[in-house]
Amino acid sequence: MNYLKYILAASILSVCLPALAQDDPEQILREAEHKAKSFTLATFKTTRLINFHTLETCGERTLDFRVSHRFGPVNSGAENFWGLDGGASIRLGLEYSYDGRLQVGLGRTSYQKMLDGFLKYRLLRQKDGGGTPLSVTLFAGMYCTMAKDPLKKVTGFDRYDKFYSRLSYSYQIIAGRKFGEKFSAQIAPWLVHLNQVEGILDANDSYGVAAALRYKVTRSLAISTEYAYRINSYSERDYYDSFGIGFDIETGGHVFQMHITNSFGLVENQFLPYTDTKWGNGGIRIGFNISRVFTI
């Protein structure tokens, strides 16, 4: 009787073990395929292109110190050395991410004495070898001008008497994709809200769609362009779509970006709705960004 038990147990094992052995390679293949679908890296080289935010965030425990500079307009003529002598706008900024997905940033711009803070979150990331076909990043920014009302002595009224009058906000959904090793593109619906506007008939909200392209020429050199289309009519004054062309040079931990743009402002509540010069009459400016990355 005991021999029958052993024979029965051996028979069951002889049936089950081949089935288990057959499942093991399939599981290994599935795991290998999952590992092969790694995240696509460096869709854009930095968190900015020219003026616009890209879908990128800083890496894990990475601090990015950024300097942005815009000279005066080229059509200011030879006396002003075509904009290089003065009338510049400068922004200093710090950006940090602990986990590589959520990023926080702070900055200060000389134009309008603007303080800014923002959050970016990588909602989706493109994967190589199939899976998620594109990356999606959410952006929210808040801005506070520290300038004084220049007309206060004339009118007797301070337009910044209430603190909330100094505040404005912007929001974007940035979606993009890296096509091969050289070409990347993104598109971003945007909204800018100002608590206080310039004209009595101006709208508080402006919105549109921004697009950006990057083409990698060599290992350390890329050309880029960006364009922001404004959809609604929000002001009686004449403003223009922000448009820029430039190139990136990567040197170790630095990325140097040189470009030409018609936008003087350096943050979203400035260049998206209130670009007041255009390419057609030489109202363009030479500018550059410098990024230095530290691991903390």
The residue with greater pLDDT, 284 or 23, is 284
All residues at 6 or more sequence positions from 12 whose CB lies less than 8 Å from its CB, including other chains: none
Q: What is the C-alpha to C-alpha distance for residues 143 and 268, in angstroms, rounded to an integer?
A: 9
> What pLDDT band is residue 37 in, cutting at 50, 70 and 90?
low
Higher pLDDT, 2 or 49: 49
Taking only the tens place, the pLDDT of each residue in 247-280 is: 999 887 789 999 999 999 999 999 999 999 999 9
Per-residue pLDDT, 192: 98
Residue 52 near residue 213, CB atoms below 8 Å: no
16 has pLDDT over 90: no
180 pLDDT more than 50: yes
C-alpha to C-alpha distance for 261 and 281, rounded to whole angstroms:
13
Return the closest-CA partner of residue 91 out of 278, 257, 283, 230: 257
- Higher pLDDT, residue 22 or 158: 158
Phi, psi at 39, each rounded to 5°: -70, 140
Q: Is pLDDT at 235 greater than 60 in this prediction?
A: yes
Average pLDDT over residues 237-256: 92
Mean pLDDT, rounded, of the chain: 88
pLDDT at 10 over 90: no
What pLDDT, on a 0 to 100 scale, did the predictor assign at position 251?
82
Among 50-54, 91-95, 147-151, name the one with the lowest average pLDDT: 147-151
- Per-residue pLDDT tens for 109-141? 999 999 999 999 999 999 987 789 999 999 999
